[in-house]
Structure 1
Amino acid sequence: MLRAKVRELARDYRKANAPLTPERLAKGIGASFEIAPIPTDGMFDFDRGRILIAEGQSLKRQRFTLAHEVMHYLIRHDENLLSDMHEEYAGDEFEETLEALCNLGAAEMLLPSENVKATLAKKGLRAKLIPDLAETHQVSEEVAAIALTDQAAHVLAVIAGGRPLKVLFSSRSEFFPARPAKNAEVPKDHALALTLATGLPFQGEAPLPKHQRPFLLDAYAKGGRVYGIYRTKPN
């Protein structure tokens, strides 16, 4: 229910402020934005009505961060939605849920779910769709991963890259006991690492990085990164 409300909130904002250039993203809530040397990806200075975006991010990532901060504002000012969240969550769990919902809303703003559904209907859910959707719709790969996994139950996405190979992003899913932490190193003998090393797609069973329990994994490598879609095993 919360996720549906957040999607609707983001969808309405996108329609009211299209085309969603960075300037229009911020202006729609009466805010400005600037690139600044801050320690986090982004932050909202509510007192000054100003969104700060960290230096060093790609333009696509900056746009996602900006949309994420706009979602913080929209959720904060939706009394019914905020009340529903407080009824279900508290403390750290509330904060984690808020961050996940802001990510979901940002993805809906930048990559409409109807576009994702149309792609999935044609091609099915595969790891290759993460970079493909990001390139086609000019959004960050994080946005593509969030949008894809939001359309299917029992799935989790992982993006890894760098040397040594580390987790750059992982989506959240209530159907997995844990999620790989950002910057967690991927072992050299892990299916994700082997997919990147060989360039060959992988379909089979593998654990999440730094975990032991195996799940079904579809992995694909491109441009020095490897993308994984994990599924829970059918009962």
Structure 2
Amino acid sequence: MQQLAREYAQALPGRDTDSLAAGLKAKLVYTDLGERDGAYDPEHSVILISRRASPQRQRFTLAHEVSHALLLGDDDLLSELHDRFEGQFLEDAIETLCNVGAAAILLPDELLNEVLRRYGPSGRAMHALSRRADVSVSSAMYALASAAAGPILFAICSRLGVKSSALGLSESPSLRQKEVRSGAKRPVVVRSSAETRDVKYSLSKDTRIPEDHPVVVALDTGFEHGGRSYVPFRSGRKVPAFVDAYPDDQRRVLVSFRLDEKKGEE
């Protein structure tokens, strides 16, 4: 998928929104899609983008839908996917690959390698890559997850109640309403995550981060924080990890968890 996306991007006149669909010769339509960010109609060669989304989100969605088109055009890759997965697992695999493809289209290898050399696979790297490439932090996160070496989980976290427009992400309405009714302090939760190929599991959306965790300390103090800690999975499992938590100016914490699985669970 990365190879398909990179080859496509190299042939584009640019990486601005108008140029991204040029290689497909597809019609680009901005419309109201409800809860969806975008869609690709291969029969009519049309890419639909939500007009309500932020410019950064529209750009990533466009690259994601272009990746759907590239995937549909590669019979070998499609055949391998259908051999390995079925049902919801197939749908999830396709969406993951299209996120990987979108990151490869928007973020050239030269920039990725430069940021990784300077900052390492860290929360600060997510922030720097987002600014340098003018993409959302979620786009930067997916790109770093595809490029970084070793078992690493990346996440974007915030307290419940932060407006989704500021985050570029959605939250679970039921979880938020439960906190409002109880009057409890709104927890810090995972809003989005990605993992390198060496990680066999993912960090689920809405996973709560304990109040004494470095992620919460970084959010509350406004200072980068890290050190040896753990990944707090929803199941209650705690996997030892070196945590790097970087608070940005949007009331989020951008996090990398470099796993230390040899030490086992806490």
- With structure 2 as the length reference, what TM-score do the two structures score? 0.78
Distance between the aligned counterparts of 1:135 and 1:230, measured in 2?
21
Report the equivalent of 2:259.
Answer: 232
Matched, 1:219 2:228: no
Change (3 A) 1:187 1:148: same
Paired residues of 1:175 and 1:232 also in contact (CA < 8 A)? no
Instruction: State the Cα distance separating 1:177 from its structure 2 match.
Output: 5.3
The answer to whether the 8 A contact 2:240-2:261 is kept is: no
**Structure 1 vs Structure 2 CA RMSD:** 2.1
Change (3 A) 1:159 1:209: farther
2:239·2:261 contact (CA, 8 Å) conserved in 1?
A: no
Residue matched to 2:214: 191
Letter in 2 for 1:203: G
Deviation at 1:75, TM superposition (A): 0.5
Which one-letter code corresponds to 1:35 in the other structure? Y
Contact 2:190 2:204 in 1 (8 A): yes
Aligned to 1:16: 11
Give the direction of change, closer, same or farther, for the CA distance of 1:204–1:55 in structure 2 (3 Å limit).
farther
Specify whether residues 149 and 174 from structure 1 end up closer, same or farther in structure 2 by C-alpha distance, changes over 3 A only: closer
Deviation at 1:229, TM superposition (A): 0.5
2:205 to 176, 182, 186: 182
- What SS does structure 2 have at the residue aligned with 1:202? strand
Instruction: Confirm whether residue 206 of structure 1 aligns to residue 203 of structure 2.
Output: no
| Segment of structure 1 superposing worse, 184-193 or 92-101 | 184-193
Contact 1:23 1:32 in 2 (8 A): no
User: 1:234, 1:184 → 2: CA distance?
Assistant: 20
How big is the shift at 1:92?
2.1
The answer for unaligned runs of 5 or more in structure 1 is 1-5
1:157 matched to which residue of 2? 154
Asked if structure 1 preserves the Cα contact closer than 8 Å seen for 2:227 and 2:244, the reply is: yes
CA distance in 1, matches of 2:32, 2:41: 14
Query: Alpha-carbon deviation of 1:149?
Result: 1.7
1:40 aligns with 2:9: no
Q: Distance in 2 between matches of 1:181 and 1:234?
A: 19
The question of 1:70 aligning with 2:66 is answered yes
Q: Which moved more, 1:20-29 or 1:209-218?
A: 209-218
Q: Residues 188, 34 of structure 1: CA spacing in aligned structure 2 closer, same or farther, 3 A cutoff?
A: farther
Distance in 1, matches of 2:217 and 2:233, equals 13
Counterpart position of 1:114: 110
Does the CA-based 8 Å contact 2:157-2:192 persist in structure 1?
A: yes
Amino acid at match of 2:238: R
User: For 1:79 and 1:118, how far apart are their aligned partners in 2?
Assistant: 34
Q: Any conservation in 2 of the 1:128–1:227 contact (CA below 8 Å)?
A: yes
Q: Percent identity?
A: 31
Report the count of equivalent residues: 230
C-alpha distance in 1 between matches for 2:118 and 2:197: 27
Contact persistence 1:160–1:225 (CA under 8 A)? yes
Could you tell me the TM-score, scaled by structure 1's length?
A: 0.88
In 1, Cα distance between equivalents of 2:60 and 2:93: 18
> 1:174 Cα shift?
5.4
Deviation of the 1:181 alpha carbon: 2.9
Moved more, 103-112 or 204-213: 204-213
Q: CA deviation at 1:34?
A: 2.5
For the Cα contact (< 8 Å) 2:153–2:258, is it kept in 1? yes
